[in-house]
Amino acid sequence: MQGAAASDPMAVMGGSTSMVVVVSAALAVILVPWLWAALVRLVWQPHAVTRAFARQGVRGPPYRFFLGNTGEARAMRAAASGATLHRSSHDIVPLVMPHLQSYTRGRRATARGSTPVLSLGRYDMVKRVLSSDKAGGHFVKPVMTPALTAIMGAGLIMVEGHDWARHRRVVAPAFAADKVRMMAGAMASCAGEVVQSWAEEVAAAAGREGEVVEVGRCFRELTADVISRTAFGSSYRRGKEVFLAQRELLLVAMAAMDGVRVPGGQYVPTRANVRRWQLERKVRATLRGIVDERLAAAAAAAARESSQSPVEMGYGTDLLGLMLKANAPAGQSQRRRAVMTMDEIIDECKTFFFAGHETTAHLLTWSMFLLGTHPDWQRRLRDEVLRECGGGDALNLNKLELVTMVLYETLRLYGPISSIERQATADVELCGGVKVPKGTVLSLPFATLHRDEDAWGADAVCVVREPIQQFNPLRFRDAAHPSALMLAFSAGPRSCVGQDMAMLEAKATLALILRRFRFEVVPGYVHAPAGHLAPEVQVVLKLL
C-alpha cells in the first residue's frame, strides 16, 4: 500500500505543481522589482524630468523610448560629415558638434538613451558646475564607454571622490612649477631634434620652393617623446605601441558615440569589442614592462647601496618614480593615505601617456595652421622670439607674450576638447534659477562657449558675410579673459594637472620652429576639423 501511494500519479503531479509554484514565486520576487526599476528608468523618469524642465522654460526634442535622442544626434553628425570650411573660417561647431550647437541655442533638454541631458549655454552655469567638481561635490563624471575606459583606465581623469583626492596627492607634485621648469631642457631637446630633421629635409630640397611636411604626425611623435621622457623615463620608441593602440582605441570610442548602450553589450564578442580587448591587453603589457624595468633598477640600486632613500635607489623624481615611491613598503607608514596599487599606477600611466601627448599635439598643429594662414602674425611672433631668445640655447619662454596669446587664441578656436559632461548626484539649482533633478547629465559645450559674442566680443563668431577678423590673439593682451584656459584644460579643483607643462612645451616648440623657418599651409589644404584628433596639416617649410 505504501509503495502504491508513493507511485500515485496524482501525488507526483501535485508535487510538481507545488515546485512550479515555488519557482514561479521566486522568479516573481526577483523579476518584478527589476522590471519595475526598468520601467521607472526607461519610462517614468525621462518623462518626469522632461516635464520638470518644461515648467522652467527649458525645452527640447520629445523623448523616445530607450533610444532617447541618439538617432537625432546621429542624423545631425551624418549630415555634417564630409563638410569643409574655407581656411579663413574657424566656425567649426557645425562640423564637430552640430547636435550640441542646436541644443545650446537657448536652454535645451535632450536625452541620450534613457538618461536626461541638459546642455548649458551660459558661462556662469558652467563655472558653477566646475567649481563644485570635487570630492563631496554635487557633480561627477558619468559612466564612460568601455573604449574610453580602456584608453585611460581608472586614472586621475576618471576617478571620483576620495580616490581622486588620493591620486591627486600623488600625481600633482610631479607637475609642480619647479618640476615643470626642470622639464624645459628635455622639451627643448626633443623639439630641437624635430627642427633639425626638418632643416635637413629642407636643405636636401635645394632648388625647390621649400619642403612639404605633415606637421600633425610629427607633433604627435614629438609630444609622445616628451611625455615619455619627462614623466616616465622612457622614450617614444619604447612606448610607441601604447600611443598607437590608444589612438586606435580613440577611433573605436568615437565610432561608438553614434550607438545606443545596451546593458552588458561590452561583454559580447563583437568585432569592435574583440579589437578593444586586444588593444587594452597590449597597452597594459607595454606599460607593465616599463614599470617593471623601473622596479628592477630600484631593486638593483638598493642591493648596491642599502642606505639610500627610495628616490635615490632608482625610483626617480618623475611621475612614475613618485607613484612607485608612494606604493613602496618603505613609504607606507609616512604616506599611507596616498598609497596607490599597481593597477592604479598602470591606469595613471595610461592617462598621462594619452592626455599628455594627444592634446598638446592638437594645440601645436592648429597653431601652425593659424600662423601658416596669417603671415602677419607669424612675422610678429618671429620678431618676438628672435628678440627675447636670440639664436642661443637659452629660451626665455616667460617673455614670449605674443606666443602665449596666440596659443590662447588657438585653444579658444580649436580646443582639444569640444565638450565634457558632469552628472548631478543630487537635486541642485544652477544660476538663473534652473533646477536640475538628480541623475541629469549636464553637457558643457566648450566649443560653443568659446564663440560666445557676449563673452569674447563681436569678432569671436563666424560671420561669413562681413570681413570680421576671428583670429585675434590681442583679445588676451590685457588678460581680459582669465578663463581662457578654463575651457581648454577645465577649471576648478579638477582642472588639468598638466596644463603648465603643455603650455611650456608648446611655447618651446614654436620658438624653435620660428627661429629656423618661414612656413605656409599648402595651397591644396582642405579645412575639415574633426574634433578630438590632431588634424593632418601640410605646411611648406623654408629655411630663414
Q: Which residues are annotated as a binding site for heme?
A: 496
Task: Provide the Cα torsion 494, 495, 501, 504; round to 10°.
Answer: -170
In order, the DSSP letters of 155-209 are: STTT--HHHHHHHHHHHGGGGSHHHHHHHHHHHHHHHHHHHHHHHHHHHHTTTSS
Burial (Cβ within 10 Å: 0-12, 13-18, ≥19) of residue 392: exposed
Nearest to 371, CA basis, from 513, 480, 484, 221:
513
Rounded to an integer, what distance in angstroms lies between the CA atom of residue 282 and that of residue 415? 29
The cell numbers describing 363, all together, are 594645440
R_g over Cα of the chain: 28
What is the three-class DSSP state of 524? coil
**Phi/psi at 90 (5° precision):** -120, 20
Helix axes 401-414, 499-516, angle to 10 degrees: 110
Give CA 274 to chain center in angstroms: 23
Nearest to 150, CA basis, from 281, 288, 342:
281
Nearest to 397, CA basis, from 318, 507, 313:
507
CB-CB neighbours of 86 under 10 Å:
10
C-alpha angle with apex 322: 490 to 362, nearest 5 degrees? 35
Q: Could you tell me which residues are annotated as the binding site?
A: 496
Nearest to 124, CA basis, from 107, 137, 141, 103:
107
Burial (Cβ within 10 Å: 0-12, 13-18, ≥19) of residue 422: buried
Rounded to an integer, what distance in angstroms lies between the CA atom of residue 462 and that of residue 447? 13
Q: Which residues pair with 422 in a beta bridge?
A: 442
CB-CB neighbours of 203 under 10 Å:
10
Q: How many helices (H) and strands (E) does the chain have?
A: 23, 10
Rounded to an integer, what distance in angstroms lies between the CA atom of residue 111 and that of residue 61? 8
Using an 8 Å Cβ cutoff, are 183 and 232 in contact? no
